Amino acid sequence: MIFTTRAAIVASIALVAMAVGVALAATPQFDDLRNQKPIHGDAVAGATKAAPCAACHGSNGVAAAPTFPNLAGQSATYLYVQLRAFKDGSRTGAVMQPLAKALTDQDIRNLAAHFASLPARAATQKAPKSPRGSILFHDGDVAKGVPPCQGCHGVDGRGPRPDPTSTAPQPAWSTFPHLAGQNAPYLLRQLQAYRDGTRIGTSNDKVMRGVARNLSAADMRALADYASTL
Q: How far apart are the first and last CA of the chain?
A: 75
Q: Which is nearer to ligand HEC, 118 or 208 (CB)?
A: 208
Q: Which is nearer to ligand HEC, 43 or 53 (CB)?
A: 53
CB of 5 to ligand HEC, least distance (A): 49
CB of 143 to ligand HEC, least distance (A): 14
Torsion-angle region of 176 (φ positive above 0: left; ψ -120 to 50: alpha; else: beta): beta
CB of 164 to ligand HEC, least distance (A): 21
Q: Which is nearer to ligand HEC, 111 or 120 (CB)?
A: 111
Q: Which is nearer to ligand HEC, 134 or 202 (CB)?
A: 202
Q: Which is nearer to ligand HEC, 53 or 118 (CB)?
A: 53
- Among residues 151, 132, 125, the alpha carbon closest in space to that of 208 is found at 151
Residue 44 backbone dihedrals phi, psi, to 5 degrees: -70, -45
- CB of 178 within 8 A of CB of 158? yes
CB of 203 to ligand HEC, least distance (A): 8
Q: Report CA torsion sign: 28, 29, 35, 36.
A: negative
Can you give the binding site for ligand HEC, defined by CB under 6 A?
52-53, 55-57, 68-69, 71, 79, 82-83, 93, 95-96, 99, 111, 136, 146-147, 149, 151-153, 176-177, 179, 182, 187, 189-191, 199, 202, 204-205, 207-208, 211, 223
CB of 161 to ligand HEC, least distance (A): 15
Q: Which is nearer to ligand HEC, 25 or 157 (CB)?
A: 157
What is the Cα–Cα distance from 130 to 167, expressed in whole angstroms? Answer: 41
Upper half-sphere CA count for residue 19 (Cβ side, 13 Å): 6
CB of 7 to ligand HEC, least distance (A): 48
Residues 6+ apart with CB under 8 A from 189: 67
- CB of 215 within 8 A of CB of 146? yes
